[in-house]
Structure 1
Amino acid sequence: MVNNLKCLIVDDERLARKELRLLLAPFKEIEIVGEAQNLTEAGRIIETAKPEVVFLDIQLPGENGFDLLEQTDAAFKTIFVTAFDAYALRAFEVNALDYLMKPVNPDRLGQTIEKLLNAEGKKPQINNQSPLRSLEFDDRLLVETGEHSFFLKINSISHINSSGDYTEVFTIKGRKFLIEKPLREWEERLPEKYFARIHRATIVNLEAVERVESWFNRSYQIYLQNSRESFTVSRRYAAKLKQKFG
């Protein structure tokens, strides 16, 4: 039996660490042995758990990820994960295995893991059945819109509309984002207690519902806070929605 590769994640953002954990979950050969939010914690984990690969953020509060490589003599492969491309040349000067830009693209991460496993003489075995992590109402999700990335507060979402392989995410404050994520994935990950699919192409935040009115043919109309438009609840989803509202 081949041993898993022990991995450490170093990032000062808790949610960034959680997202990377989620992305690494399908790779059976990767065993996450620790998380660190600063270099002191990282040094302790490296000493005790002896990871073989470190996913390392560069810009940490008052610190720089490169300093970790100077502070330890431990042997491990380094994969930088950062929102800045300015350090790419230096990363490869210190023999980093790879340099990933935030938000991390799953396909790009897959290439990195394949490179890592090839370097270790292993073959990637991806578990395509691994479920995506369920989101909590108070979570923040790292999302990408074009060239920009930001943390989206789940409880700030008013509703989500399907747009092919993309979704239009509307916030309670009236902002709109086009995100490369299908509606099906949102439905699987959003907390059922607070979000409901009301139509083939729409999910709403139940906390943002201002009122519900009966409509023709046993359907309903939903009105959301700070929104002038109404939303039709299709017959297919009406019964489930009625249960949620008691």
Structure 2
Amino acid sequence: MYNCLLVDDERLARSELKRLLKAYPQCVIVAEAGSGEEALQHLAAMSIDLVFLDIQMPGLTGLQLAEHIPANTQFIFCTAFNSFALDAFELNAVDYLLKPIAPERLAKALQKLRPANADAAPHFLAEQHGILLKFGDSQRVVRLNEISRFESIGNHAAVYTPYGKSFIHSSLAKIEQKLDPALFFKASRADIVRISAISHIEPAIADGGLIAILQDGQQVDVSRRQAQQLKQQFSAF
């Protein structure tokens, strides 16, 4: 079951989305908000698993609101404009639906959701787990704690190791499901880095995010949404 929050400054848009969601009993609408500011109050006051949010709203926009949504809360953008799609996925949105929302597109979006409040503990690979990687004409078993970074490249992922760069045929989303979040951090929709490989952090001048400098000199962009969470990784008090 997903506790859902609907955020849209247009009441009719919220009503239409409620109508469409009646076909999905697993989506329980627990609150509605007509502004980003009102949505923040609901997020602070109750447990929300899934947020449906418009982008262009007076005051706090949907993109700005998304930066304040807790990392474990999933969200789907519902908007009449397709020009914000890149920004939306940079914020790790589950999906980006154009109004009027087609029932089949809503169905596909809901299929992408992670289970809410899953009872079973996730199974993460151990630090010493070996991955067989190809380097030139040879293959080598590389331990997970030797990998500094996974980078999404189409339907593949580049794997950065002390022995060079290799590639695996897997999406970043599938890789993330197997990695312990205490050891690896999703910096953006394109990168996962090993936390212990981070040497220092610098502000990104352009977009308000961060740049993580790894011990091997690589520079990895950290999205605005993930920036605060990364800082918390290194906060002891």
Q: Report the structure number with the largest CA radius of gyration.
A: 1
TM-score for the superposition, normalised by structure 1? 0.45
TM-score, structure 2 as length reference: 0.47
